[in-house]
Amino acid sequence: MARVYWKPSNLLNPVPAVLISCTDGEGNDNVMTAAWAGTVCSDPVKVSVSIRKSRHSHAMIMKTREFVMNLTSEEMVRAVDYAGIYSGAKVDKFDLPGQLHMTKERAHVVNAPCVAESPLCLECKVTQVLELGSHDMFIAEVVSTDVDERLLDENGTLDLSRAKLIAYSHGEYWTLGRKVGKFGFTSLKSEKDNNLKEKKQPKDYKGRKKSRLHHK
């Protein structure tokens, strides 16, 4: 495989396109789009989001130490893009018409609002702020997971495929596409469950094993 070599660049793609909603605690709320976000710990459950110091939301989160990470769907893509272009210092992004509209919804635990159109919201409390350079990374504990009931199947199991989530890749928004596997599907147990092990040789009418290569 032939390669070309470039200077260091942020090409870890695709990444989630999430809406970060926050408040200053004085009645002023905001929502911004972030793609540099991810899971960092499972016990306790923690996530991270990296935000420039110059962003309007940065000061709010620094002040209240909380935010909501709202997952986004295909139907929300125009609102997601708008929220990443315009500053909350100049426009109320919770007061927009049509496909740009985002509904403010009271969170279950934190004071920051949720985005009602989001299929799944992670309510977060900041535990650490890392100054990395152009961005500060907010590491936060998830204190509540708010799930749209329509994502649950008849057994109450979460089916995220119903959410029609979107991702961000090199300046473009994408749907996730078709499933090509699931966690652990290459394990020996999975191979057995999927009948991938060698089948037993068939027997003739007298109960003797037939040779696959030489029977007539």
Where exactly are the structural domains of the chain?
15-175
Q: Are 76 and 93 in contact (CB under 8 A)?
A: no
- Read off the pTM: 0.86
Q: Are 66 and 112 in contact (CB under 8 A)?
A: yes
What are the DSSP calls for 34-100, one per residue? E-SEEEEEETTEEEEEEEETTSHHHHHHHHH-EEEEE--BGGGHHHHHHHHHS-TTTS-TTS--GGG
Locus of tokens 């929220």: 83
Locus of tokens 């329509």: 150
Residue 11 has pLDDT above 60, yes or no: yes
The top-level CATH class assigned to 15-175 is: mainly beta
- Provide the residue count of the chain: 216
- Look at phi and psi of residue 62 and say left if phi exceeds 0, alpha if psi is from -120 to 50, else beta: alpha
For the record, the structure tokens of 175 come out as: 């749907």
What is d(CA 104, CA 107) in angstroms, rounded to the nearest whole number? 9
Instruction: Name the average pLDDT for the chain.
Output: 90
Residue 60 has pLDDT above 50, yes or no: yes
Work out the pLDDT band at 188, boundaries 50, 70, 90: confident
Work out the pLDDT band at 187, boundaries 50, 70, 90: confident
Q: Among 49-58, 92-101, 117-126, 191-200, whose mean pLDDT is lowest? A: 191-200
Mean pLDDT of 119-125: 98
Residue 206 has pLDDT above 90, yes or no: no
The per-residue pLDDT for 189 is 75
The per-residue pLDDT for 32 is 98
Residue 59 has pLDDT above 80, yes or no: yes
What is d(CA 216, CA 75) in angstroms, rounded to the nearest whole number? 62
What is d(CA 76, CA 102) in angstroms, rounded to the nearest whole number? 9
The per-residue pLDDT for 193 is 63
Residue 68 has pLDDT above 90, yes or no: yes
pLDDT digits (tens, 9 = 90+) for 159-168: 999 999 999 9
- The residues, any chain, with a CB within 8 Å of residue 2's CB and separated by 6 or more, are none
The per-residue pLDDT for 204 is 47
What single-letter DSSP state applies at residue 170?
A: T
